Structure 1
Amino acid sequence: MNSAGRFLVALAVGVSLAWGANATAQPNDAVPHAHEEIMLKGGRTMIYDQNVAVTLRDGHVVYANVFRPKQPGTYPVVMAQGPYGKDATFQEAYASGWAQLLKANPEICAQSSCRFIRWEHTDPERWVGDGYVVIALDVRGSGYSPGYLDLVSAREARDFYDAIEWAGNQPWSNGKVGLLGISYMAINQWQVAALQPPHLAAMIPWEGASDLYREALFHGGIESNLFLQLWFKGQILPNQNGNAHTAYKDPGTGLPPTGPALSDDLLKANRASLVDSAHEHPLLDGYNQERNAVLSRIRTPFLSAGNLSAAGLHGRGNYEGFVRASSKEKWLFLHTGTHDDSFYSDEGIALQHKFFDHYLKGTDNKWEKTPAVSLVERDPARATWTTRTEQAWPLARTRYVSYHLDAKDHLLSTEPPKADASVTFDAGKTAALFDLSFDRTMEFTGPLAAHLWVGSSTTDADLFVTLQLFDDKGREVTFLGASDAASPLAQGWLRASRRKLVVERSKPYQPWYAFDEIQKLTPGQLYPVDVEIWPTSIIVHPGYKLTLRIEGADFQRPVSDPAANGFGKRGSGVFLHDDPVDRPQAEFAGVTTVASGAAHDSFLVLPMIPRGE
């Protein structure tokens, strides 16, 4: 095609996209297509079809890469749709992540060429040889899929529904579709499963929020701005359909994997920004409600894989999905490490295969006898951690113990202090600390909460609550996590003016906020507030100390070399809350008071697990 022809194609596509959500796009000759037979390391042959057109209910077309066995027959489907580029290689588009993954799993390419691994997608070569079809789909408005980019929206969930039904009706499909992927590709599993597509037979949401407002956009009602900004600019915009300036390359063509080029004006007009919408919709209104999965409508069998060290995005959703979904067949798998280490490990892939073999192939592998919950025992005193099984979450034998704050002596105790006292801190500068020492080995596993009496010198206050653990030598116990290489034990957040509870849904160990109105503070007056702290699991030993840290800004450790460490060992990773629009100095740089004592009993609820039971 000559330059004039390319211009006309780009112009035609651009005009179609500019019409917005109701516009449709038909199969495009400018989108590259490939058909290739590939010999797998196991000796079987895989057929790779690039950019297969999938027509949605409104006539719009999105594009999928399909990997399937060469041998004729019908096979179960494992699929995912995402905005990160099904044709942008993990190795080049996410080089640092790839290096970290290889370090954790040096044998990752022993059974695969790793040619088709994409960020947070599964490796098709690890599935096709075992009789599966694997599909990777660019969401509308990303990669080669034209259209208006509206991330994690209701329409995007409906698109996913249509793609699942398309896959379930293909001649190479046995009619059973499973969903598999990390983070974004887990979030949209919760969303689409609530729509109940008939061909959806099972799913494995791996570390993905099931309540976007509470778990990604607004932690405790405080805007999580830094992550949104970095994510949108660094991962979403480079792969927006029509972005000719992307550094991503299609390994087959060497060209941008984003379709015909669009002007900057059209690119901006063809996308919704979650960063902008956070400013426009700070409460849990209809806009935000539409993006939250209706978990009670989920009936699909699933394996929810959550990270015990993932405050900020990759933890709470998997717990809540497991607890609140109506599926009768559901499992919770709790691991540690980065958000993709276990996903791509041999053990993780074996777990995924066993689950899907049962539900998508009908294999009698006794999966149904698998205990409902498995979790890593995080014991700092042991060099190697083991995994144990449980029958419920929260654990059935949990005893919730209240540890009362003593503001005078800065301690936590099972007995409330008799005298009233208070401690203050300058928001963003200092913190209130309360210590709890242990004289015996104990375990705490499950959700937890802080019930506090607080006041402010201004009309509002943000509370950042962190649990730190120190061993018998005074060294902090930290964890390699999904967002930070030195994650603390647990974290929670609350904006005081968003303290309104949904009483019927709240529990002593897990408050549930309405987030539907703003209740300002009267300066100098004390108010009871309940701070949800995301679930954790830990075994402590004699001489260990737990510190409850309450402050008015994000928990961040000082690092000796910020350029070398970046956010990696600060403690909160990229999940920071420092947007001056959301947190104006006049309201959020005041003096905060934490009270304790008989009249203002503040306490921390910990999920104690009896030893030996």
Structure 2
Amino acid sequence: MIIERDVPISMDDGLVLRADVFRPDSGAHPVIMTLGPYGKGVPYRVGFKPQWDWLISTYPDVLPGSSREYMNWETVDPEIWVPWGYICIRVDSRGAGRSPGYLDVFSPREIKDYYEAIEWAGTQPWSNGKVGLSGISYYAITQWLVASLQPPHLTAMIPWEGAADCYRDIARHGGIQSNAFFEAWYPRQVVSVQHGNPKAVLDPWMNEIASGPESDLLSDEELKNNRCDPVQDVLARPLDSQWYRSRSADWSKVTVPFLSAASWAGFGLHPRGNFEAFTQAASKQKWLECHPGRHEEWFYLNEPMAMQKRFFDHFLKGVDNGWDREAPVLLHLRRPFTDKFELRKEPSWPLPNTKWTRIYLEANQSSSPLLAWEKPSKSSSLSYMAMEESLTFTSPPLEHDTEITGPLAAKLFASSSTEDMDLFVTFQAFSPENREVDFQGTVDPHTPLAQGWLRASHRKLDTSKSLPYRPYHSHDEVLPLDPGRVYELDVEIWPTNILLPKGYRLALQISGKDFERPLPPDKPNEAWISRGSGPFLHTLPADRPNEVFGGWTTIFTGAESPSFLMLPIIQA
């Protein structure tokens, strides 16, 4: 394997990005590329030590044949892919790692740089002219964005757990600012290796600082002035706008073949993008794969690695391995309380044998709130303090084994004592012994079955894009509430999968704040890790002042206000 460090790639404005290239020692080969801000000189085992330690302790034999010494966070392992006949290229994005410039994550300038880098890679003498993209999270988001620019040498891509709509997937869920992720992620994973940051870790492969060279080191003030502030950028833009659109995929222009790999339990960031890509992108050759597990886990396991290789061998090498005849949808099915996940292949998404089924909310005053298969004939209502309490509606035990796979939606009739309200909706299931069915999520080890959000003043629907099972809100104007008036609200709930045995019960929690279970007594310093919503919280007082969002919320059910949950029940 030939390794070239800090290879210069000139951009159209004269700025030079730096890349590391891993390639076979002879011949022309296809390229697998990433471009992003995490630092090509930051070893996985150093920069992301807790995740690394978990991976290799859980899977001691992961990536057989590799020393795992050349790995970066969320990117392919060159010791695996180069022997398979691929060139692996990692590019430090503008303003990050060894590349100078203004750091502006997901910006049009960064994506234009990606276009330039792809075209550079596709025209090098060691390249066969076919460039593939593969990577997790940030390295998946930017795949959707650069594919919208249609670089000629981009041939195929695998966006693994990648958000696609900057407003709806990342910044503002249902119009509510998702601040905690940016507040935690940006300083820890991006600013820490900003170009010129003297506190960055050592690049052991070059024996220099990963954010260098040392001649480019900057003061704290200079660093701050040379980067964006995503929390404030989002706070200043409560409505969808060109700023968000320029950082989101244009599905009409995404035409490249792709394999969209979605996590079943990544609520708050990625999976919506993977599902929307499969249903909305213009690509004629596209596949959807759905898997469980932690964010950094499934990408490196043997079965998913074989799938990635088969996909790229077909599109980047022209191997006739049957991939073009592979089923469009590959689902790893979840059952309660097991770590076994069987693969099932399907022809489309949502699944063709989906029976869209309403289960109605019943605000019973004399007993616990209910979920009922028949619409209640009488009107009823229940109220809760939005910032302090929640309501949970629970079904009777299921009479049959039941599969729920697909997107969900809730139609809620609600009022507020103030001029606005935020709705946090969580879909759950419980065993006959009242044990909650949860799963290891991308971050949180106890993720519920599905989540959705809506700010009531953002209730306006885009009727051209809305579906009965996937409402689409325009987020283009604020419509304040009249206190006490009942409004009909449609809440998008992100897709899920679960196969429940007979006797289990369904539940829907409605609250005015993030879903969180009580803090485990054995993890007093890890509140977000195991409480249910991971780091994807909505707690910024500037976006959610208590005097507006801390009032009384009332949910109305039955008769003229038939609140319900739309379920994708799969018929045998």
1:385 aligns with 341
Within-5 A mapping of 1:28-67: 46-67=1-22
Within-5 A mapping of 1:80-99: 80-99=34-53
Distance in 1 of aligned mates of 2:413 and 2:51: 42
Question: In structure 2, which of residues 491, 499, 518 is the aligned counterpart of residue 531 of structure 1?
Answer: 491
Question: In structure 2, which of residues 512, 516, 534 is the aligned counterpart of residue 556 of structure 1?
Answer: 516
Question: In structure 2, which of residues 307, 312, 328 is the aligned counterpart of residue 372 of structure 1?
Answer: 328
User: Residue 66 of structure 1 contacts residue 133 of structure 1 at CA under 8 Å; is this kept in 2?
Assistant: yes
Indicate the percent of aligned positions where both proteins have the same amino acid.
Answer: 47
Are 1:151 and 2:105 an aligned pair?
yes
User: Residue 80 of structure 1 contacts residue 180 of structure 1 at CA under 8 Å; is this kept in 2?
Assistant: yes
Amino acid at match of 1:426: M
Distance in 2 of aligned mates of 1:563 and 1:419: 45
2:295 aligns with 339
1:28 aligns with none
Within-5 A mapping of 1:77-476: 77-246=31-200, 248-259=201-212, 260-380=216-336, 384-408=340-364, 410-437=369-396, 438-476=398-436
User: Which stretch of the first structure deviates more once superposed, 379-388 or 222-231?
Assistant: 379-388
2:479 aligns with 519
1:588 aligns with 549
Deviation at 1:601, TM superposition (A): 1.1
Deviation at 1:483, TM superposition (A): 2.2
Deviation at 1:145, TM superposition (A): 0.2
Amino acid at match of 2:17: V
Deviation at 1:414, TM superposition (A): 2.0
Deviation at 1:564, TM superposition (A): 5.3
User: Residue 147 of structure 2 contacts residue 254 of structure 2 at CA under 8 Å; is this kept in 1?
Assistant: yes
1:485 aligns with 445
Could you say what secondary structure the match of 2:308 adopts? helix
User: Which stretch of the first structure deviates more once superposed, 388-397 or 428-437?
Assistant: 428-437
Amino acid at match of 1:133: I
Deviation at 1:272, TM superposition (A): 1.1
Deviation at 1:297, TM superposition (A): 0.8
In structure 2, the CA distance between the partners of 1:434 and 1:201, relative to structure 1 (3 Å rule), is same
Amino acid at match of 1:222: I
Deviation at 1:254, TM superposition (A): 3.9
Distance in 2 of aligned mates of 1:517 and 1:584: 19
Residues 463-490 of structure 1: CA deviation (Å, up to 9, x unaligned): 0000111112111111001021000010
In structure 2, the CA distance between the partners of 1:459 and 1:562, relative to structure 1 (3 Å rule), is farther
Amino acid at match of 2:5: Q
Deviation at 1:523, TM superposition (A): 0.7
User: Residue 165 of structure 1 contacts residue 198 of structure 1 at CA under 8 Å; is this kept in 2?
Assistant: yes
User: Which stretch of the first structure deviates more once superposed, 272-281 or 103-112?
Assistant: 103-112
Amino acid at match of 2:375: P
Could you say what secondary structure the match of 2:246 adopts? helix
User: Residue 261 of structure 2 contacts residue 291 of structure 2 at CA under 8 Å; is this kept in 1?
Assistant: yes
Could you say what secondary structure the match of 2:524 adopts? helix
User: Residue 314 of structure 1 contacts residue 339 of structure 1 at CA under 8 Å; is this kept in 2?
Assistant: no
1:38 aligns with none
Deviation at 1:430, TM superposition (A): 1.1
Distance in 1 of aligned mates of 2:51 and 2:226: 29
Distance in 2 of aligned mates of 1:398 and 1:89: 45
Residues 286-326 of structure 1: CA deviation (Å, up to 9, x unaligned): 11111111012111000000001110112111000111111
In structure 2, the CA distance between the partners of 1:428 and 1:238, relative to structure 1 (3 Å rule), is same
Could you say what secondary structure the match of 2:208 adopts? coil
Could you say what secondary structure the match of 1:230 adopts? helix
Gaps spanning 5+ residues in structure 1: where? 1-45
Residues 491-514 of structure 1: CA deviation (Å, up to 9, x unaligned): 000011111100121111110000
User: Residue 472 of structure 1 contacts residue 542 of structure 1 at CA under 8 Å; is this kept in 2?
Assistant: no
Q: TM-score, normalised by structure 2?
A: 0.97
2:24 aligns with 69
User: Which stretch of the first structure deviates more once superposed, 144-153 or 428-437?
Assistant: 428-437
Question: In structure 1, which of residues 491, 499, 507 is the aligned counterpart of residue 459 of structure 2?
Answer: 499
Distance in 2 of aligned mates of 1:591 and 1:562: 32
Are 1:608 and 2:569 an aligned pair?
yes
Residues 394-422 of structure 1: CA deviation (Å, up to 9, x unaligned): 11111100111111251111211111110
Distance in 2 of aligned mates of 1:94 and 1:340: 11
Question: In structure 2, which of residues 529, 534, 538 is the aligned counterpart of residue 568 of structure 1?
Answer: 529
Question: In structure 1, which of residues 509, 532, 551 is the aligned counterpart of residue 469 of structure 2?
Answer: 509
User: Residue 104 of structure 1 contacts residue 341 of structure 1 at CA under 8 Å; is this kept in 2?
Assistant: no
Amino acid at match of 1:63: R
Amino acid at match of 1:331: W
Amino acid at match of 1:370: E
Q: TM-score, normalised by structure 1?
A: 0.91
Gaps spanning 5+ residues in structure 2: where? none
User: Residue 407 of structure 2 contacts residue 568 of structure 2 at CA under 8 Å; is this kept in 1?
Assistant: yes
2:558 aligns with 597
User: Residue 166 of structure 2 contacts residue 248 of structure 2 at CA under 8 Å; is this kept in 1?
Assistant: yes
User: Residue 314 of structure 1 contacts residue 482 of structure 1 at CA under 8 Å; is this kept in 2?
Assistant: no
Distance in 1 of aligned mates of 2:84 and 2:531: 42
Distance in 2 of aligned mates of 1:196 and 1:329: 15
Distance in 1 of aligned mates of 2:338 and 2:181: 33
Amino acid at match of 1:446: G
Amino acid at match of 2:6: N
Deviation at 1:587, TM superposition (A): 0.3
User: Residue 63 of structure 2 contacts residue 302 of structure 2 at CA under 8 Å; is this kept in 1?
Assistant: no
